[in-house]
Amino acid sequence: MKVLIVDDEKHVRHAIRMLVHWEACGVTEVIEAESGDQAIEVITTLSPPVVLTDMRMPGKDGVALMEWIQLHSPATRVVVVSGYDDFDLVRQAIRRGGMDYILKPVDPVEINEALTKATQAWRTAEQDRHRQTMQAIEVNRMRPHYADKLLTELVSGTANTALSITPLREELRLPAAIQMCSAAVMSIAQLDTDMLDKYKTRRPLLSFSLINICNEFLMASQIGIAFRHLERMDEIIVLYWGEPSRWPLLLQDIHTGIRTALGCYMHIGIGSFGAFPVAAATAYHEARQALWKRDVLQATDWLHHSSLVRQPVRLPRLLELEEELRLSAFSCSASRVAATVGRWIAAIAELPSVTAEQLAGWNQELNWMLARWLNDRPGDTEGEELADGAGAFPALPIDNRGLLSLPLWKKQIENRMLATGQALTPSHNPNNPTIRDIARYLEAHYDEDISLQDMASRFYLSREYISRKFKQEYGVNLSDYLCRIRMDKAKLLLLNDKLRLHHIAGMVGYQDEKYFGKVFKKLEGVTPGEFRKRHAAHLQS
């Protein structure tokens, strides 16, 4: 935690530094400023949670600084350290959110008590803000989206517009005089793999963020709304009913906002204008087609129009290489797999264009082919399947500009081929090497948020296959195995009495201390606190 000391007298700042027990308050960095103007610069740049400020200073004084903090950094806690025992100054300090008013010369007990109170108040408020944010996200994800349902039906063409437009107007408080509308479509599935990995376990948060960014530009002027398609959960749709001439500029603002906030390059498909509300479905269909028929080989613009028509190209099919691919997979030879997959990648590189839709189709073709090999394995009736490698939204092998990365795609296919080969030839190994790799991964990453789907995505196998084979190999399911690793690590950490329980919970992969305690007691028969006391007593004896 950072604390800012603001005083025009250097010896006062030095005295405060010497008198305060910073470590006891959890303060890791102390910053100084000699004026209110300099303090504003520091707060703007570093956002210290607590400010200790004088009241009488050249330029912006303490009152002006507190006014600025109240307006621009309301979460900051302020303690006044002043040489003036002036009722009016005290009153102004309290009115502007000051937590305490300490007179100079500074009393060590008073300044430490005031700082302790201020840091605790900031931490409590920060926890409340975090909890409220997470609750808002969770509520937004879990509660029924009545407006989203109406909008999804509108753009899908499944709604009776004559009947649905009234509740839609009431729910969204739409302007009465909407004449024309258009639509734009973005797809989370077309983000680069690094971004999808970053939000792998938080896809709803990614959608929530994108929708919020879009609506910041739309809702203030009541010219449109962004929402998630409830039947295609990877899609964010922008329905626009403002002036047609403003539409491209608005999309440019949205695109820039996404780049700034999330650091990702978002491609957007755009449809034509038509009469509201009947043309909404047509505009959406056009926008979606434009997005998925964009060329992922060419460095074209991020905005894609439905009017662009591409010449048909004879596309290679993975099935044409199926026998070679199957034999290379059976060989379990990385070099042979790489050579076979390389021929496929070379054929793609020769094409004049490839659309995002075609790329997704090839990935699906690969899924079907690998699943069929496993299902057709002699003597195997369990129907093992490989995972598509990306959970709900299969990741396309594209870079951070939204263009096809042939090296990335080659690597993805090679990994899946080798994983298939291992699954197809278990008799060659006394144990399952992939399952042992998964166990080693759990042992190395036990402190992370790990699910069965994460393992399926990382190791290119289905959740069902991993669950079944893991139980066969280790005698317990994957979640119990991970839980046991975490509890063993927790027991070691509990021997250090300087570590608090909530820190230990976080260090072994639990964000909720209470849930950690329940799991620990279920497995160990005692609470973490009781375990610590028993072992402390044993060591002392």
> pLDDT per residue over 292-317, tens digit each?
999 998 877 899 987 665 555 677 78
Does position 250 have pLDDT exceeding 90, yes or no? yes
Does position 235 have pLDDT exceeding 90, yes or no? yes
Q: What is the DSSP letter of 246?
A: G
For 146-305, CATH number?
A: 3.30.70.270
Find out whether the peptide bond into 426 is cis, omega within 30 degrees of 0: no
Domain with CATH 3.40.50.2300 in the chain: 2-139
Q: What percent of the chain has pLDDT over 70?
A: 89
Asked if 300 and 294 touch (Cβ cutoff 8 Å), the reply is yes
Does position 428 have pLDDT exceeding 70, yes or no? no
Asked if 114 and 80 touch (Cβ cutoff 8 Å), the reply is no
Helix/strand/coil for 404: strand
Give residue 325's pLDDT.
87
Does position 380 have pLDDT exceeding 60, yes or no? no
Instruction: Tokens for 117, please give them.
Output: 């109170």
**Mean per-residue pLDDT for 52-80?**
90
Asked if 363 and 396 touch (Cβ cutoff 8 Å), the reply is yes
**At residue 43, what is the residue type?**
I
Closest CA to 152 of 64, 251, 237, 263: 237
How far is residue 211 CA from its own chain's centroid? 14
Name the band, by pLDDT with cuts 50, 70 and 90, for residue 50. very high
The residues near 298 (Cβ < 8 Å, ≥ 6 apart) are 353, 403
Give residue 384's pLDDT.
45
**At residue 286, what is the residue type?**
E
Give residue 313's pLDDT.
65
Closest CA to 101 of 81, 85, 118: 81
Does position 460 have pLDDT exceeding 80, yes or no? no
Does position 374 have pLDDT exceeding 50, yes or no? yes
Mean of all residue pLDDT scores within the chain:
84
Does position 430 have pLDDT exceeding 50, yes or no? no
For the four alpha carbons of 389, 359, 398 and 200, in that order, the dihedral sign comes to: negative
pLDDT digits (tens, 9 = 90+) for 343-370: 999 989 888 888 999 998 898 888 888 8
Domain with CATH 1.10.10.60 in the chain: 478-540
Asked if 350 and 375 touch (Cβ cutoff 8 Å), the reply is no
Please state, in angstroms and rounded to a whole number, the distance separating the CA atoms of residues 371 and 384: 7
Q: State how far the alpha carbon of 472 is from the alpha carbons of 222, 438, 468, 469, in Å.
A: 58, 14, 6, 5
- Phi-psi region for residue 76, left (φ > 0), alpha (ψ -120 to 50) or beta? beta
Closest CA to 223 of 181, 252, 194, 161: 181
Q: Which CATH number fits domain 478-540: 1.10.1040.10, 1.10.10.60, 1.10.238.10, 3.40.640.10?
A: 1.10.10.60
Please state, in angstroms and rounded to a whole number, the distance separating the CA atoms of residues 533 and 520: 15
How far is residue 172 CA from its own chain's centroid? 27
Give residue 84's pLDDT.
82
Asked if 214 and 252 touch (Cβ cutoff 8 Å), the reply is no
Q: State how far the alpha carbon of 490 is from the alpha carbons of 103, 137, 498, 503, 521, in Å.
A: 47, 30, 14, 10, 12
Does position 144 have pLDDT exceeding 80, yes or no? no
**Mean per-residue pLDDT for 436-448?**
88
Domain with CATH 3.30.70.270 in the chain: 146-305
**At residue 160, what is the residue type?**
N
Please state, in angstroms and rounded to a whole number, the distance separating the CA atoms of residues 258 and 191: 12
Give residue 463's pLDDT.
81
Name the band, by pLDDT with cuts 50, 70 and 90, for residue 377. low
Q: Is CATH 3.40.50.2300 the right assignment for the domain spanning 2-139? A: yes
Q: State how far the alpha carbon of 112 is from the alpha carbons of 16, 25, 56, 107, 144, in Å.
A: 10, 8, 22, 9, 49
Give residue 394's pLDDT.
54
